[in-house]
Amino acid sequence: MAAETILQHEILTKFVYPFLLIFFIVFAVLEKTKILGENKRQLNALISFVIGLIFVAAVFPKIVVGNLILFLTVALVVMFVVLLLWGFVAGGKEGFEISKGLKTFLMVIIGVAVVIALFWALGVGESFFTFLFKSSWSNAFWTNFLFIVVIALALAFMLKGAKEK
């Protein structure tokens, strides 16, 4: 079992962190919107303090906010990875440009790779891929799917060539 640090203590995770989160969010909203008037920092702080205490006293809202914060952090990391990989492909350097078709292809590859990595990180990869590729129906499905993709690509290239003439 992993050692618990002071930052993981139950008092901090169940009371202090949720209180501080709600306090600062409510205080920032009150300061920005100036609902209570100009230069009312003490009143905004007091109202934020009371709302934070009420929030900490309720169980269900803390669970909802905790889950949303966890989702937000995971989503931010996934978006950072996607944008970082996208920047490598889409960002142009002087004298080095990738054709539009190759950029599109690489973007699709990056999207698929991020989805596969996300499944792997979530731990659902093996059961998901077993369902997709080792089911009784999967052999026929993927054969037909690839056949349709090849036909669609051939038609797209033919229609693109006809438009250019």
Of 138 and 43, the structure prediction assigns the larger pLDDT to 43
For helices 17-33 and 41-57, give the axis angle rounded to 10 degrees.
140
Identify which of 67, 84, 73, 75 has the alpha carbon closest to the alpha carbon of residue 18: 67
Q: Report the pLDDT value the prediction gives residue 11, as an integer from 0 to 100.
A: 87
Q: What is the DSSP string of 63-87?
A: HHHHHHHHHHHHHHHHHHHHHHHHH
pLDDT surpasses 60 at 1: no
pLDDT band for 165, please (50, 70, 90 cuts). low
SS3 of residue 148 by DSSP: helix
SS3 of residue 96 by DSSP: strand
Q: Name the pTM for this structure.
A: 0.57
High-pLDDT (> 90) share of the chain, %: 25
Q: Nearest-5° angle of CA 51, CA 72, CA 30?
A: 30
pLDDT in tens, 84-143: 888 877 776 666 677 777 888 888 888 888 888 887 777 776 777 777 788 888 888 888
**φ, ψ (nearest 5 deg) of residue 2:** -75, 145
DSSP-assigned beta bridge partners for residue 93: 96
What average pLDDT score do residues 15-32 get? Answer: 93
Q: Report the pLDDT value the prediction gives residue 85, as an integer from 0 to 100.
A: 84
Q: Which two tokens stand for residue 144?
A: 């037909």
